[in-house]
Amino acid sequence: MLLKCQRDPFLQEFTARVVSCQEVKKGKKKHYEVVLEDTILFAEGGGQPCDHGTLQTLCCDVSAGVQGLNLTQSDSVNVTDVQRKDGTAIHTTNKPVTAESNVKVALDWTRRWDHMQQHTGQHLLSAIAEQQYNMNTVSWNLGLEVCHVELNTTELTDEIREGLQADVNKLIRDGLSVVTSVFSSKEDPGLSSAHTRGLPADHSGPVRVVEIQGVDQNMCCGTHLTNLSQIQMIKLLHTESKRGNTLLYFVCGERLLNTLHSALAIHTSLNSLLTCPPDLFVGQVTKIQKEGKSYKRQAEKLSEELAVMLAATLIQQHGKVMFLQRDEIDAEFSVVLQRQLKEETESRVLLLVSGGTGAAQFMLKGPVELINKFGKEAGTILGGKGGGRDGRFQGKFSDLTKVPAALQFLRDNIS
């Protein structure tokens, strides 16, 4: 059966009788599955996502006429999903509605309008790609931000993409009609020239054919615009290879405006950050990246020199325990320091402390027997946890005020 959304895709409100409402539990969560006598909410199919909307219980019989109905606002429930099951649209709601009651079905028109713009745009794009460029559509996707058609080609050049975009936009400007007809079945002889791309595999019964006047005929269960001019404009985006085919991304209508709006907002932000106009962005970023690499190299060199100098001062410290505390000790600095002190730590113990209150690290390095004997206890005095082997013990702690006690413990016991 064709639903009201398919018979009249521009209808935004509708009154229907509730056939059934069933509670469904999934773990701790529950929702309701509502079947209506008829619906203007499209169930996902033919590549088009489902509609969203609301159901609002009416307080009196629909047969009294729409004018005589009063609405009970508190009975409004959200429809968050609509799926087709054996030809019936199942509405998922957050609250129950009463079977046999009448409800006002309200469509989320912004979402539907977007879907119809992308969907009708896809019909046109696929038709022209096939007729003008011999590229057939294998599948398509109406995504949250961008859509794509999967074309059976590996040779979609920039030149072809530009030509395809120009051809499709010309037809949009021409404002050709989009007409939907209904045939008795898929086998109807009048359907010989129509594609079956948009028809669900398990479809039976009457079929709808969506015709772009003089351009294309396509069997499809979805909702469509009535004139190509309503698409407003199409922009073909990037491509991706997929198993011998090409995904061609696109946006139509309001989405194109939203995409442009986002791009311009990024331009404005970059303009402020880079202090140059958009045509100089790439050059400016390239310059900054180059400078960044140069600074990094210089910082690494200076860090290495500092580690070498500090190692020399540590060697000069008295006693068997060498101690260094710095706000930050990165891995490379630590490696250089340990390399410089390799010979020294064969007979002496090194205690390294870095970081700030709440997120500090310590490392002990020295003769295996000394680290095995005192490492764990030094870590306990610091109030931290750690581990290690082969003359190294390291871990994390949070209270820097405990460092002097740990150092004193090591100096008292290692001499």
* Closer Cβ to Zn ion, 121 or 198, answer by number: 198
Tell the smallest beta-carbon distance from residue 101 to Zn ion (Å). 33
3-state class (DSSP) for residue 205: coil
Q: Whose structure tokens read 């079977």?
A: 99
CA–CA separation, 125 vs 37, rounded Å? 35
Of 57-65, 192-200, 360-368, 396-404: span binding Zn ion (CB under 5 A): 192-200
Q: Pick the closer one to Zn ion by CB: 198 or 253.
A: 198
* Minimum distance, C-beta of residue 208 to Zn ion, in the bound complex (Å): 9
Confirm or reject binding of residue 222 to Zn ion (CB under 5 A). yes
Which of the ranges 73-81, 197-205, 310-318, 368-376 carries the binding residues for Zn ion, by CB under 5 A?
A: 197-205
- Measured from the CB of residue 146, what is the shortest distance to Zn ion in angstroms? 18
Cβ at position 265, least distance to Zn ion in Å? 32
Kindly indicate which of the ranges 78-86, 213-221, 274-282, 284-292 contains the residues binding Zn ion, using the contact rule CB under 5 A.
Answer: 213-221
Using CB under 5 A as the binding rule, whether residue 375 contacts Zn ion is answered as: no
Residues 280-319 that bind Zn ion (CB under 5 A): none
Rg of the chain on CA atoms, in Å? 35
State which of residues 79, 220, 337, 378 lies at the interface with Zn ion (CB under 5 A). 220
Least distance CB 228 / Zn ion (angstroms): 13
Nearest CB to Zn ion, comparing residues 147 and 410: 147
Task: Please give the C-alpha separations between residue 61 and each of 57, 304, 399, in angstroms, as whole numbers.
Answer: 11, 85, 73
* Site size for Zn ion (CB under 5 A): 3
Between residues 104 and 208, which has the closer beta carbon with respect to Zn ion? 208
Is residue 9 close enough to count as binding Zn ion by CB under 5 A? no
* The one segment of 70-78, 201-209, 221-229, 310-318 that binds Zn ion by CB under 5 A: 221-229
CB atoms within 10 A of CB 291: 10
- Of the two residues 121 and 222, which places its CB atom closer to Zn ion in the complex? 222
Dihedral pair phi/psi, residue 402, rounded to 5°: -90, -5
Least spacing, CB of residue 222 vs Zn ion, in Å: 4
By the rule CB under 5 A, 198 interacts with Zn ion? yes
| Shortest reach from residue 46's CB to Zn ion, in Å | 5
Q: Which of residues 124 and 364 has its CB atom nearest to Zn ion in the complex?
A: 124
Order the strands of the 137-142 sheet from edge to edge: 137-142, 147-151, 245-252, 234-242
Q: Which amino acid is at 292?
A: G
Q: Does residue number 45 form part of the binding site for Zn ion (CB under 5 A)?
A: no
3 state SS of 414: coil
Query: In the complex, which residues of this chain contact Zn ion (CB under 5 A)?
Result: 198, 220, 222
